[in-house]
């Protein structure tokens, strides 16, 4: 029972992280039909920014985190502007290749500038790693923080999408770019905002992730990135609700798999990828159907 | 009078996309050697019917019989191999390949694929003999003598076809470098390269001036005779259709509203109503 | 433009091949290090040519190349490792029968490596090829990762994270370049056959290809399997070149796919000769830039090296090519004597005029 409650909270936290990353994938895909392959590496860059903001710029931890989130948003903005915008009218596969190149660039950049050796991410207040004991259940403070931050960010996202003009434009563009631009929305600005929001969310997820597995390294973004993409596909890529639901679902399935079959722990990623392939094959639209099949 | 042989028979075809019925209870037959037109206002479902015949869409209900074979729901490539070839409304050539290569792509499955022949053999062993051994991938890679021979035959036949379509001087041009009218012709030639018995043309005269469409009309008549084809075509240009077609089907909102020879259709009240206000008819 | 006669073409080709032969025969004069690089170029060449068959000629975008390379590498390495070496390496879990008691020669092991990789290409292609575009790319990437994770966890078969050590360095210049020759002949011959025309048609417009009677699924599958076979071959050669294997993402994982992707994008997606040029370029640039990665001694002054520089520069080149020069060096066309002749002819003509 205790294990079950513990697992429940763990999966909420892990699912929240997946959802935070997945939102970035799904928003970009919704608008540009582009799998932003570099998203996992933006997540990685976010953790490095936080690390150096605190160790090098000697900012207090909370300011360092905010700084990192801001800089990562800026990074997402520049990536779109430099690498993706020139290819917006190119074949979709070309943009995907460019995104792969961007991912590769960010990883190499991190190796060169930050060094290839994993760094210990011990820049957060010690109380975060405390454990709250309720009865016999032990839940780390960080888990609670993760859950709370995730919920707050999704509330913010909801406000942004449904209560602001920008959000309206975002939703309109994801349906039809030409028409929306005719109606006077500045498509480029909206796309930029999408990248900034998605990247900042990834930075938050990155910082929370780095505190959970307290180290950072240049290739840390690949697996969480790919798995968050799986989450986005489970939920129905292009749908923000889908990404959130998919993230939590994947988190739950993964924690429960490891919880109930401990000797399959090494295969948890395999499990996620197999899920991806099965969903792509049998229900490519995911849970929340956004895109119907293309007409001939 | 000898009963004409029925080559294509569409029986009560219905197709729905989501809640929308694009084609409703549509029946049509085509006799061997006929030239049949399918007309109707924009969005009436003409191209959808072509897509159903060629296997791109599966009808929700109904049956299509071609040369006595039930082809409902077969894959497009198999339907093509059994003998139906088509062109597209907006030309879809392999634009990065040369004119000759476009033709040879059309010949590819005819010369290398045993699947269709075996399909026909299982359907009617008496009429269709079991396929002979045909060169396959490894002979193509190793360039075995029989493959080289096949390739030679393909090339000769392709040049022959280009000659008949008066395209031979463009043989080494990239398909995209051809003038518009020649591209239309090449698309027909590519369809002919698959050795069809029924050729389906989706707006062959679209974007042509009257002189060009007159030339096209002549060449369609000519290839029909040369290749002993049956032709079904969609066309917006009424004059063109009335000139060339022996029978016409008129479609409106996915439903058959009229059918008969050109005069009968032209004088049909329903047809006039459907086209009322449509600039094409005026 | 004057067309070069068949005779001239054949003669130039013979001269070219003899030239390569003498170059390779004397590769050792460049020293051990460079003759190893010359071998590596051929291995990269095989990887790139097999990859361009799928991603360029057929126009389906796979990200699974590293998976097939890994399968070929592990299969052949397990077959050529000596029995004592296997007993020594597999100390967490012993190697399963019958692999623990056999050792076969390099050539059959390489071919088996290729066949096993081709078989996996079939297994993976069967579900994945039903997907299109970026979905296919992601599915193949997922499968490649699955393969890597399985390798990482199957201690009884692959020695898991410990990897394989002490693989004989059988891959000589001749083996590598010989296999590259075979690969180029096969892929080139395929590209310029009726099947190749069908593949190119599919890459341009799959729907139009379908109504021309081409079975798109099986043609793509055929290209995918042939590509998998040669990827497996290149894996085997790679294993016997580098002599140790491990399943980290940076060695036989997605990184390797990126490397090969860089080669074929620079060379031009869909061009066999472009793929080889891309491989040569990649090998040279990555080796040349290694200089900056280790410490350099300059007049007694030690300049610290920066690891990772080569990959950083290559990724920048890669992105630049994608944005400004998407057809790469060769586009879809091939290097032929006719093209070279035409190229120089126009140059000389310009000078004279």
Q: Who among A92, A266, A276 is closest to C133 (CB)?
A: A92
Distance between CA B82 and CA B197 in Å, rounded?
A: 9
CA–CA distances in Å: residue B191 to residues A49, A94, B235, C291 = 59, 31, 18, 58
Strand partners, A225: none
Q: How confident is the model at residue A295 (pLDDT cuts 50, 70, 90)?
A: very low
Q: In chain B, positions 30-59, which contact chain C (CB-CB < 8 Å)? A: 54-56
Choose the final residue of a domain: B195, B219, B242: B195
Provide, as residue numbers in chain C, all residues whose Cβ is less than 8 Å from the Cβ of B80. Answer: 210-213
Do the domain assignments include residue A84?
yes
The answer to whether position A261 is within a domain reads: no
CB distance C63 to C247 below 8 Å:
no
The answer for B108, left when phi > 0, alpha when psi is -120 to 50, beta otherwise, is: alpha
Does B65 contact A at CB distance below 8 Å?
no
Confidence category of residue C352, pLDDT binned at 50, 70, 90: very low
Compare all CA atoms of chain C with the CA of B96 and give the residue at the minimum distance: C204
Residue of B nearest to A296 (CA): B56
Q: Strand B247-252 to strand B35-39: parallel, antiparallel, or no bridges (unpaired)?
A: parallel
Per-residue pLDDT reduced to its tens digit, C139-169 = 999 999 999 999 998 888 888 888 888 898 9
Question: Do B222 and B100 sit in the same domain of this protein?
Answer: no
Residues of A whose CB is below 8 A from C262: 101, 104
B203: left (phi over 0), alpha (psi -120 to 50) or beta: left
Residue B88's closest chain A neighbor by CA? A296
- Domain termination residue (choose one: B154, B175, B195): B195
Mark yes or no for CB contact C307/A116 under 8 Å: yes
Instruction: For residue C1, tell me if it sits in a domain.
Output: no
Please count the structural domains in chain C: 1
H/E/C letters for each residue in B236-271? Answer: CCHHHHHHHCCEEEEEECCEEEEEECHHHHHCCHHH
Q: What is the DSSP letter of C164?
A: B
Mean pLDDT, residues B196-205: 91
CA atoms within 13 A on the CB side of B10: 25
Residue span of the structural domain in which B60 resides? 1-83+196-282
C7 — pLDDT class (breaks 50, 70, 90) = confident
Q: Which of A56-60, A134-138, B46-50, C203-207 comes out lowest in average pLDDT? A: A134-138
**Where do the H-state alpha helices sit in chain C?**
6-25, 31-52, 65-80, 83-89, 106-128, 133-153, 155-158, 173-191, 194-204, 206-211, 216-242, 249-252, 254-267, 272-288, 309-324, 337-352
How far apart CA B254 and CA A274 sit, in angstroms, is 42
Same domain, B143 and B100: yes
Name B13's bridge partners.
B26
CATH number at residue B236: 3.40.50.300
B88 within domain boundaries: no
Q: Are C197 and B101 in contact (CB under 8 A)?
A: yes
Cβ of B51 under 8 Å from any chain A Cβ? yes
Total number of domains constituting chain B: 2
Assess whether B108 and B147 both reside in one domain.
yes
Residue of chain A minimizing CA distance to B89: A296
Structural Rg of chain C based on CA atoms = 21
Rounded CA Rg of chain B: 20
Percentage of residues in chain A having pLDDT higher than 90:
49
Residues of B in contact with A289 (CB under 8 A): none
Full residue range of the structural domain in which residue A97 is found: 2-218
Q: Are residues B202 and B160 located together in one domain of the fold? A: no
- Name the phi and psi angles at B255, rounded to 5: -115, 145
Same domain for B76 and B207: yes
**CA A280 from centroid of its chain's CA atoms:** 20
- Calpha distance C72→C151 (Å, rounded): 12
Q: Which of A34, A35, A96, A101 is most worth mutating to test chain C (most C CB atoms within 10 A of its CB)?
A: A101
- The pLDDT assigned to A167 comes to 86
How many Cβ pairs closer than 8 A exist between chain A and C? 111
In this structure, the strands spanning A131-134 and A137-140 are antiparallel
Measure A289 CA to nearest chain B CA, in Å. Answer: 13
B51 contact residues in A (CB cutoff 8 A): 296
| Tens-digit pLDDT profile for residues C249-262 | 778 888 899 999 99
Q: Over the range B88-120, which residues count as b (16 or more CB within 10 Å of their CB) and which as e? A: beebbbbebbbbbbbbbbbbbbbbbbbbbbebb
Residue C115 CA neighbour count, 13 Å, CB half: 6
Q: How many domains does chain A have?
A: 1
* Residue-level pLDDT at C333: 80
pLDDT category at A129 given cuts 50, 70, 90 is confident
- The pLDDT score that the predictor gives to residue C297 is 63
Closest partner residue to C200 among B88, B97, B154, by Cβ? B97
Query: Do B103 and B73 reside in the same domain of the chain?
Result: no
Query: Given CB atoms, is A293 within the 8 Å cutoff of chain B?
Result: no
User: How large is the angle between the packed helices A141-163 and A165-175, nearest 10 degrees?
Assistant: 80
| Residue B282 pLDDT exceeds 70 | no
Query: How many alpha carbons lie under 13 Å from residue B77 in its C-beta half-sphere?
Result: 25
* Residue B191 and residue B202 in one domain: no
Of A20, A26, A16, residue with least CA distance to A248:
A16
Mean pLDDT across A258-277: 87
Q: Which of B195, B217, B236 is the last residue of a domain?
A: B195
Specify whether B181 is located in the same domain as B238.
Answer: no
| Among the partner residues C205, C214, C222, nearest to B109 by beta-carbon distance | C214
Q: Is residue A18 part of a domain?
A: yes
Domain that holds residue C194: 6-352
Do residues B183 and B98 both lie within one domain?
yes
Contacts of C134 in chain A (CB under 8 A): 35, 92-93, 96
Residue A193 lies in a domain: yes
**CB-CB under 8 Å, C195 with B137:** yes
Is residue C256 domain-resident?
Answer: yes
Q: Do C138 and A94 touch (CB under 8 A)?
A: no
> pTM surpassing 0.95?
no
């Amino acid at each position: 029972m205790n294990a079950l409650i513990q697992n429940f909270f763990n999966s909420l936290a892990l699912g929240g992280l997946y959802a935070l990353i997945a939102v970035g994938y799904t928003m970009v895909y919704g608008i540009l039909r582009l799998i932003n392959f570099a998203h996992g590496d933006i997540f990685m860059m976010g953790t490095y920014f936080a690390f150096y903001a605190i160790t090098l710029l000697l900012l207090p931890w909370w300011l360092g985190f905010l700084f990192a989130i801001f800089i990562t948003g800026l990074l997402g903005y520049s990536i779109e502007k430099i690498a993706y915008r020139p290819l917006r009218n190119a074949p979709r596969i070309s943009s995907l290749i460019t995104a792969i190149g961007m991912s590769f660039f960010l990883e190499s950049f991190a190796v060169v500038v930050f060094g290839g050796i994993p760094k210990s991410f011990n820049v957060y207040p010690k109380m975060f790693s405390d454990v709250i004991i309720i009865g016999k259940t032990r839940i780390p403070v960080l888990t609670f923080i993760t859950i709370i931050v995730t919920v707050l960010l999704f509330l913010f996202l909801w406000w942004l999408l449904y209560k602001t003009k920008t959000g309206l434009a975002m939703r309109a563009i994801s349906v039809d770019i030409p028409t929306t631009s005719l109606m006077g929305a500045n498509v480029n600005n909206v796309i930029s905002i999408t990248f900034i929001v998605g990247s900042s969310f990834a930075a938050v997820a990155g910082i929370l992730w780095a505190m959970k597995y307290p180290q950072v390294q240049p290739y840390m973004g690949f697996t969480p990135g790919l798995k968050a993409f799986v989450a986005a596909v489970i939920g129905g890529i292009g749908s923000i609700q889908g990404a959130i639901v998919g993230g939590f679902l994947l988190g739950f399935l993964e924690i429960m798999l490891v919880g109930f079959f401990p000797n399959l722990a090494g295969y948890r990623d395999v499990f996620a990828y197999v899920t991806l392939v099965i969903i792509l094959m049998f229900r490519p639209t995911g849970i929340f159907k956004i895109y119907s099949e293309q007409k001939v | 009078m000898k009963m004409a042989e029925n080559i294509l028979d569409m029986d009560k075809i219905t197709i729905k996309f989501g809640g929308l019925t694009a084609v409703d209870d549509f029946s049509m037959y085509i006799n061997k050697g006929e030239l049949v037109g399918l007309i109707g206002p924009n969005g009436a479902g003409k191209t959808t019917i072509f897509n159903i015949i060629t296997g791109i869409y599966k009808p929700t209900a109904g049956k299509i019989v071609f040369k006595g074979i039930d082809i409902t729901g077969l894959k497009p490539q198999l339907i093509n191999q059994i003998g139906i070839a088509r062109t597209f409304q907006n030309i879809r050539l392999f634009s990065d390949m040369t004119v000759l290569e476009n033709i040879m792509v059309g010949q590819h499955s005819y010369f290398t694929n045993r699947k269709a022949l075996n399909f026909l053999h299982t359907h009617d062993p008496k009429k269709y003999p079991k396929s002979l051994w045909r060169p396959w991938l490894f002979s193509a890679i190793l360039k075995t003598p029989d493959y080289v021979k096949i390739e030679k035959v393909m090339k000769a036949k392709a040049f022959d076809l280009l000659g008949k379509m008066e395209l031979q001087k463009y043989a080494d041009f990239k398909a995209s470098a051809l003038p518009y009218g020649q591209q239309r012709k090449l698309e027909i030639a590519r369809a002919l390269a698959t050795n069809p018995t029924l050729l389906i043309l989706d707006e062959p005269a679209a974007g042509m001036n009257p002189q060009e469409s007159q030339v096209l009309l002549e060449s369609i008549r000519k290839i029909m005779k040369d290749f002993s084809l049956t032709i079904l075509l969609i066309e917006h240009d009424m004059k063109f259709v009335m000139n060339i077609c022996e029978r016409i089907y008129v479609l409106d909102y996915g439903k058959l509203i009229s059918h008969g020879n050109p005069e009968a259709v032209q004088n049909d009240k329903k047809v006039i109503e459907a086209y009322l206000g449509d600039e094409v008819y005026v | 433009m004057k067309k070069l006669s068949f005779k001239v073409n054949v003669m130039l080709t013979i001269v070219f091949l003899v030239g390569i032969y003498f170059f390779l025969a004397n590769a050792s004069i460049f020293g051990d290090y460079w003759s190893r690089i010359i071998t590596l170029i051929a291995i990269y060449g095989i990887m790139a040519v097999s990859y361009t068959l799928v991603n360029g000629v057929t126009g389906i975008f796979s990200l699974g190349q590293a998976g097939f390379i890994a399968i070929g590498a592990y299969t052949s390495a397990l077959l050529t490792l000596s029995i004592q070496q296997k007993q020594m390496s597999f100390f967490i879990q012993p190697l399963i029968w019958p692999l623990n008691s056999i050792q076969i020669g390099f050539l059959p092991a390489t071919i088996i490596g290729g066949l096993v990789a081709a078989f996996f290409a079939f297994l993976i292609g069967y579900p994945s090829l039903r997907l299109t575009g970026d979905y296919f790319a992601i599915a193949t990437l997922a499968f490649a990762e699955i393969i890597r994770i399985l390798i990482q966890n199957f201690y009884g078969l692959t020695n898991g994270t410990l990897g394989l050590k002490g693989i004989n360095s059988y891959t000589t210049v001749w083996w590598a370049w010989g296999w590259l020759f075979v690969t180029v002949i096969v892929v080139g011959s395929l590209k310029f056959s009726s099947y190749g025309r069908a593949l190119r048609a599919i890459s341009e417009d799959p729907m139009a290809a379908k109504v021309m009677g081409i079975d798109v699924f099986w043609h793509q599958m055929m290209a995918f399997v042939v590509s998998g076979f040669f990827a497996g071959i290149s894996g085997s050669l790679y294993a016997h070149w580098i002599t140790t294997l491990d399943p980290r993402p940076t060695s036989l994982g997605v990184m390797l796919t990126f490397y090969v992707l860089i080669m074929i994008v620079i060379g031009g997606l869909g061009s066999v000769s472009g793929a080889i040029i891309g491989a040569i370029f990649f090998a040279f640039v990555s080796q040349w830039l290694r200089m900056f990665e280790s410490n350099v001694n300059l007049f007694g002054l030690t300049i610290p090296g920066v690891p990772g520089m080569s990959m950083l520069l290559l990724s920048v080149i890669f992105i630049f090519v994608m944005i400004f020069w998407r057809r790469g060096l060769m586009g879809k066309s091939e290097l032929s004597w006719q093209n070279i002749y035409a190229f120089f002819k126009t140059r000389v003509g310009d000078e004279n005029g």
